[in-house]
Structure 1
Amino acid sequence: MIMQLDALRNRATRPLAELQVAGAHQRQAVVGPWRLTCCLGRGRWSSVYAASPADYDREWPAQFALKILDRSRCTSSRATSSLQREAAVMQAARHPRIAALLDAQLSHDTPYVVTPRIAGVTLSKLLSADVPSDVDFALPLHRSLWVVRQTAEAIRHLHEVRWLHGDVNPSNVMVSPRGEVTLIDYSCARRLDGEESIHDGWTQSHAEYHAPELRRPGIRIKAAADVYSLGVMMAHLVSRQPSATVDRNHQLPTEWLRLLTAMLAEDPRHRPTSEEVVDELLALEISLL
């Protein structure tokens, strides 16, 4: 697979064009060596398409996801920088809970990045499903712990390679049919060292998941901001609403409440590290066996 992808990358990059797919009645776009099929989603600055190698000698299923900057919607340098950051994060990170970078073209007229297409749905979709009023948890407790722990493992690895995700929320957590998690969308990522970690007032959606320090431009953002966002996501799994406060009316284990309270501390110095969060969540999972 790697050799085949390398061969595709070495071919001349073709401009965005349309071609007639044999046996099909629809026209499909080609970006570089990739044929795009259906649109999987759209963001503020970019769109994500299912993709397959355009020049392979047999038809491939659309097993890849290509994220391309939408020049018609945004031509700002910030949009370009966001895609460059995504590529840099995926290149630095090597973890099963983080999408792998397979291809990137950042200097072309149509910059893009390519990852494997991830099976499943976002956690936000799981949380939006109708839940009977007599059910205490949006997901069973053991499943909630597993989802949050896997997300915490991805965050821990990002912190180890000195990156802040910057936008941890259920829309950026993919859950496979087997319950395996992939943390996606690194467009708001920032280096944890250097000037880039000084908050410049960048904005993103899902403000209810932001750590308090993200509302204060001009300060240096630390890894604890991701821990806070993960804590809000944990609270959402329990209460069905994103909240920075812990509802003690829910019948949760004492250790769960203690960890959640610590993660949601107003002062980032009082929050546990992502490594400590992973260890404590794993201990909680074991206690439920």
Structure 2
Amino acid sequence: MQTGGISAWIADDEPLPERVGPYRITGLLGRGGMGLVARGERDDGVFEQAVAIKLMRGSLTSVGALERFLIERRILGRLVDPGIARILDGGSLNGTPWLAMDLIEGRSITEYANAAALNLDARLALFQQACAAVVFAHRNLVIHADIKPSNIMVDADGKVKLLDFGIARLIDSSDNSEDPGSGALTRQYAAPERISGVPASVASDVYGLGMVLRELVGPVVEDDLGAIIAHATAANPLERYPDVPSLLADLDARAGHRPISARPTPWHQRTVKFFKRQRIAAAVGALLIAAAAISTVQYVRAERARDAAESRFYEVRDLARFMLFPHYDRLADAPGTTAARAELAETAGRYLDRLAQMRDAPEDLRLDTARGFRRLATVMGAAGESNLGRTEEAKALLDRADATLATISGEGAAIAEERGWVNVVRWNTLADDTESQRVSNAAEQHFGAALATDPTRMGARLGLLQVEKNRGYMTLWNADRPADAAKMLEATLGRLRARAWTGEWTRPARALEYVLLAQIGDSYYYAEDVPASLTWFRRAEALVDAELARNPTQVWWDRYGDAQYNLSGSLMEIPAERGAALAAARRGREAMDAHFVKTGQSFR
């Protein structure tokens, strides 16, 4: 049995306690100003779980102190965000406060970046992940109060997790007569006002992030980034960024070659930034002009020479692919682009028609043509995507994709995967239950065939999760079994989050995550479990907030309105939350108003 005192455990001159609450202590992870961190394993027979146990300096010797501690613990326990390590449990051991938290295996953000020899852009991407998590907490009225590299961990998948959120607040709430909260400060990263005793605030968290950014990027010679760091770490809180979104906005402005708010930009530098911004747009314009010239002149001549024609067809394929994928997505992310997207889709469709008419085309060109028809069907009228509302045209384009795939001999992994995606998009154009089931089954078979040939195909793996989501949707709405739908959709969400989605699959995976969260909320709502539905709708809202903090695109603003609508519906079922319901509905309405104003439309 452990006989040493609490202070002895923390001071490193006694063995660790054998147990804390329902957790068996299995080792020491570290010691610091807050106390010590041990590895714990839950072994109470309820379920197995490895956690990080924090035994904190300070005491909870009075009933009032313990009550305040437990209230604060519950507040922090509601911080459910992919970028924040959760607080799972907590209490008092002989008067010493303790917390059980997610056990994060990884390295600090600086150690990870240095070990991987990351370039500047990759380091800034990690930093922006950390900022997004801080934004989420601030919107939930929780201050971190001890931001430093060792509290920003990066796991093996490159995902950032912030530790110790709000623990300084927990310590301050205890009966610590020496210096409340002082143990939570790391002076190297603490804002000057914190060292002098001022309570933690949004401004002090901005300062901590600025200090982390300075250490993460190293010696800075670039004027804009140096100005951003200096503005975030200004000694006077009133001279810093007012909040973390403002810091993120300047980082985005720097990346987009726009003037930043942290310093005046001389006219000649504004000119340079302008031309850098326009370079991409100018290149797109040049490509469209070149494509028109190709389609009207060069391809007429190319018919006389097969080899030249084939070369030109590959050029058109590349143009069509560019227009239907990255360029269309950029337009969809901006307000007021419906007409431009329609024109882009029409032009890309003409190029695809020309490609489909090519006799004896190589199989890789035919596969890309089929992908083009499927993508064009998506942007024309597939539900759940940013589309032009032309469903019948979308169905005809999917038929053309199927017909093009039928001309390819064999059934390799890439072809099978594409057949699966054609069926996924077709499902989004259907309302018939029987046909929807058939299409889902076909998609599952094709994705399974692709993975049987090549288990590494990320697109086929994500496609299977889309099929599972669709089946959960049909279980909810067509079969009217909301409780079963909730279980199915939660299992799919778990499988989605268990993988790291990179490259071209990052965007659709994130969109699928939001849809799953919202549909799980719907399922619980219609199963008449309003509190559970509210939990899932809040998680969907948190995901939208994180995406808007990282990259405020029109697509995610639209989802913000959707998320607020869902929240308001559940809140309205709770009499005490009617005011919150109206506030959520108002936020959603304001988001939609802003969208329609920007696009020049009206829904009144």
TM over 0.5: yes
SS in 2 for 1:209: coil
How far did 1:85 drift?
Answer: 8.3
* Alignment match, 1:147: 126
SS in 2 for 1:265: coil
- C-alpha change, 1:200 and 1:105, in structure 2 (3 Å) is closer
Q: 1:98 aligns with which of 84, 89, 93?
A: 84
- C-alpha change, 1:211 and 1:190, in structure 2 (3 Å) is farther
Q: 1:274 aligns with which of 244, 254, 265?
A: 244
User: In 2, are the aligned partners of 1:120 and 1:174 still within 8 Å (CA)?
Assistant: yes
How far did 1:40 drift?
Answer: 1.4
**In 2, Cα distance between the equivalents of 1:75 and 1:109?**
5
Structure 2 residue 52 is the aligned partner of structure 1 residue 65:
yes
**In 2, Cα distance between the equivalents of 1:260 and 1:282?**
14
- C-alpha change, 1:97 and 1:283, in structure 2 (3 Å) is farther
How far did 1:275 drift?
Answer: 1.6
User: In 1, are the aligned partners of 2:77 and 2:88 still within 8 Å (CA)?
Assistant: no
Structure 2 residue 193 is the aligned partner of structure 1 residue 213:
yes
SS in 2 for 1:48: strand
**In 1, Cα distance between the equivalents of 2:73 and 2:38?**
17
* Alignment match, 1:234: 213
Counting only pairs closer than 5 Å after superposition, residues 12-91 of structure 1 correspond to structure 2 as 29-56=18-45, 60=48, 63-69=50-56, 75=59, 87-88=73-74, 90-91=76-77
| Runs of 4+ with >6 A deviation | 80-83
Give aligned pairs, total. 234
SS in 2 for 1:266: coil
**In 2, Cα distance between the equivalents of 1:173 and 1:157?**
15
Instruction: Report the TM-score when normalising by structure 2.
Output: 0.34
**In 2, Cα distance between the equivalents of 1:200 and 1:103?**
22
* Alignment match, 2:231: 262
**In 1, Cα distance between the equivalents of 2:207 and 2:74?**
24
Q: 2:104 aligns with which of 108, 118, 143?
A: 118
- C-alpha change, 1:230 and 1:140, in structure 2 (3 Å) is same
The answer for unaligned runs of 5 or more in structure 2 is 4-15, 172-178, 258-502, 504-604
User: In 2, are the aligned partners of 1:212 and 1:266 still within 8 Å (CA)?
Assistant: yes
The answer for unaligned runs of 5 or more in structure 1 is 1-14, 18-26, 132-137, 192-198, 240-246
**In 2, Cα distance between the equivalents of 1:263 and 1:271?**
5
- C-alpha change, 1:16 and 1:281, in structure 2 (3 Å) is farther
**In 1, Cα distance between the equivalents of 2:226 and 2:33?**
35
Counting only pairs closer than 5 Å after superposition, residues 168-187 of structure 1 correspond to structure 2 as 168-185=147-164, 186-187=166-167
How far did 1:33 drift?
Answer: 1.9
Instruction: Report the TM-score when normalising by structure 1.
Output: 0.65
User: In 1, are the aligned partners of 2:110 and 2:216 still within 8 Å (CA)?
Assistant: no
SS in 1 for 2:215: helix
Partner amino acid, structure 2, of 1:97: G
How far did 1:214 drift?
Answer: 1.8
- C-alpha change, 1:279 and 1:112, in structure 2 (3 Å) is same
Partner amino acid, structure 1, of 2:206: V
Between stretches 80-89 and 225-234, larger displacement belongs to 80-89
Across the aligned residues of Structure 1 and Structure 2, the Cα RMSD in angstroms comes to 4.0
**In 2, Cα distance between the equivalents of 1:89 and 1:183?**
16
**In 1, Cα distance between the equivalents of 2:102 and 2:140?**
21
SS in 2 for 1:145: helix
Between stretches 182-191 and 46-55, larger displacement belongs to 182-191
How far did 1:83 drift?
Answer: 6.8
How far did 1:16 drift?
Answer: 7.5
**In 1, Cα distance between the equivalents of 2:79 and 2:180?**
24
**In 2, Cα distance between the equivalents of 1:148 and 1:114?**
26
Partner amino acid, structure 2, of 1:160: R
- C-alpha change, 1:57 and 1:39, in structure 2 (3 Å) is same
**In 1, Cα distance between the equivalents of 2:127 and 2:24?**
35
How far did 1:63 drift?
Answer: 2.8
Q: Which has the higher contact order (CA 8 A, sep 6+)?
A: 1
User: In 2, are the aligned partners of 1:90 and 1:99 still within 8 Å (CA)?
Assistant: no
SS in 2 for 1:208: coil
**In 2, Cα distance between the equivalents of 1:237 and 1:159?**
23
How far did 1:278 drift?
Answer: 2.9
User: In 1, are the aligned partners of 2:29 and 2:38 still within 8 Å (CA)?
Assistant: yes
**In 2, Cα distance between the equivalents of 1:16 and 1:111?**
17
**In 2, Cα distance between the equivalents of 1:110 and 1:190?**
12
Greater Rg by CA: 2
**In 1, Cα distance between the equivalents of 2:170 and 2:253?**
30
Instruction: Say which structure is richer in helix.
Output: 2
**In 2, Cα distance between the equivalents of 1:111 and 1:208?**
26
- C-alpha change, 1:145 and 1:84, in structure 2 (3 Å) is farther
How far did 1:234 drift?
Answer: 0.7
SS in 2 for 1:113: strand
User: In 1, are the aligned partners of 2:89 and 2:100 still within 8 Å (CA)?
Assistant: yes
SS in 2 for 1:95: coil
- C-alpha change, 1:189 and 1:277, in structure 2 (3 Å) is farther
How far did 1:204 drift?
Answer: 4.4
Structure 2 residue 189 is the aligned partner of structure 1 residue 202:
no
**In 2, Cα distance between the equivalents of 1:47 and 1:266?**
31
User: In 2, are the aligned partners of 1:101 and 1:114 still within 8 Å (CA)?
Assistant: yes
Post-superposition CA distance 1:75-114 (Å, at most 9, x none): 587xx88976872552242221111122222476564221
**In 2, Cα distance between the equivalents of 1:31 and 1:190?**
18
How far did 1:31 drift?
Answer: 2.7
